Homo-oligomer: A and B are copies of this chain.
Amino acid sequence: MGRWEPGASSRLREAALALYLERGFEQTMVADIAERAGVTARTFFRHFADKREVFFDASAEVEEKSLAALEAAPATAPPLDAVAAALCAAAEVIGDNRDLARMRQTVIMANASLRERELIKLTSMSVAVADGLRRRGVDEAEAGLAAETGVAVFRVAFERWVNAAEDRALGDVIHETLAQLRTLTAAT
């Protein structure tokens, strides 16, 4: 107990998720998580600011990789294609562990403060993507709309992926959802 171990952060993440599912998020204390992971509470706080942050500490990486992909998209790519590249980069950070994503989602949906945090992260993602588009020379109004649309596509795709009975990668579901959006908007 308490000694430094390189795997502490992922053990803490697993322990937190297991406890949130067993007892509920509100009923789980940082001390319980640390104990389950075999570390001290102090070690917990070296890795996470609070017990909500266990679920959101990847979001800086998600944002960073998404923005890098947005920047790397060909200069001639239409705004929504550049956004699609950003969303797929986000999907790669999230990874292929659908069971884990599903459990995380179950906990988030059961707790108002986690749902709020999730919504705020998505809004901040939208703002960052819009800024990235402007840096690519997309005009102000188009940039905001393309970013908001991208986040909407991501939300829908993520929900489909998490709930799906089959095994497609999140990136594939994002492409499919975007194609469906193109069909939807083409119908008048």
Contacts and interface: CB of A to CB of B under 8 A. Distances in A.
A117 B52 CA distance: 18
A53 to B, nearest CB: 16
B144 A156 contact: yes
Stoichiometry (number of copies): 2
B149 A187 contact: no
A63 interface: no
Interface size range of chain A in the complex = 20 to 34
Contacts of A10: none
A43 B117 CA distance: 34
Nearest to A159: B144
Contact of A119 (B81, B120, B184): B120
Contact of A184 (B80, B115, B156, B188): B80
A156 B148 contact: yes
A162 to B, nearest CB: 13
A145 B180 contact: yes
Interface string A102-124: 00000000000001100110010
A142 B120 CA distance: 25
Given A123-B119, A156-B144, A180-B145, A185 B187 contact: no
A160 interface: yes
A105 B67 CA distance: 28
Interface string A168-188: 000000000100111011111
Interface of A: 78-81, 115-116, 119-120, 123, 141-142, 144-146, 148-149, 151-153, 155-156, 159-160, 177, 180-182, 184-188
10 closest A-B pairs by CB:
A78-B187, A148-B152, A152-B152, A116-B116, A119-B119, A185-B185, A182-B185, A145-B156, A148-B156, A149-B152
